[in-house]
Each structure stands twice: as C-alpha cells, then as structure tokens.
Amino acid sequence: AQTVTQSQPEMSVQEAETVTLSCTYDTSESNYYLFWYKQPPSRQMILVIRQEAYKQQNATENRFSVNFQKAAKSFSLKISDSQLGDTAMYFCAFMKWGNNDMRFGAGTRLTVKP
C-alpha cells in the first residue's frame, strides 16, 4: 500500500517570506499523481497544485511551486511571498495512475505571521 509522510506537523513563516513543506511517499508504481491540498479554518479542501509523475518539469501555480524528486520519492511544496490567507492545514496526497484511491499524509499546519 502506498504511504504518504509529512514530517512537519507545524510550521510558521513571516508574511512575505518563503516556506517549504516536505512530503515523502512510498510506492513501487512508476505512474502516479501527487497533490497538495489546502484546508483553511473553513474546513474546505482546496486543490493547490498537482504533479504527474511522468513529467520531469516541476508544477507551478502562481506563488506555489513543487520540487518533485521521483527517485527520492519526495514532493515538497514551496510557497513564495507568504500571505496571511495562506494560514491553513496542508495535505500532501498520492494516487496511482488509473486508480481513484487517493492517499493523504497527516498534514502540516502552517501559520503565516504578520
């Protein structure tokens, strides 16, 4: 079974600075998807960014980017120019290609300080 590990239960960053959240996963699959979801206090799960494992280029969405290291099974999220609205729980998730069983890490609680 695939497992997803987020080793940082909590992190904080000053507004306007950059922060990186870590995620590692364990799989024997070669084709899969990786995701970062944001969960603000409203509890809504919001897709931040996704990566297809067969693509070597790291995904980027505005201030959010990933560092995907397939060999190391690592998928970190970098948030640039942090904003107060980025304060949330962040979940890393994995899904095998052709499968609809998305597996989540335990989450990292990020606090952006003014």
Partner 1 sequence: NAGVTQTPKFRVLKTGQSMTLLCAQDMNHEYMYWYRQDPGMGLRLIHYSVGEGTTAKGEVPDGYNVSRLKKQNFLLGLESAAPSQTSVYFCASSYPGQGGYGYTFGSGTRLTVV
**Interface residues toward partner 1, by CB under 8 A:** 4, 6, 9, 33, 35, 37, 42-45, 47, 50, 52, 91, 95, 97-107
Closest approach, Cβ 111 to partner 1, in A, equals 16
Closest approach, Cβ 18 to partner 1, in A, equals 24
- What's the gap between Cα 95 and its chain centre? 13
17 vs 26, which CB is nearer to partner 1?
Answer: 26
Buried b or exposed e, range 24-35, using 16+ CB within 10 angstroms:
bbebeeeebbbb
26 vs 81, which CB is nearer to partner 1?
Answer: 26
95 vs 112, which CB is nearer to partner 1?
Answer: 95
CB 5 within 8 A of CB 108: no
43 three-state secondary structure: coil
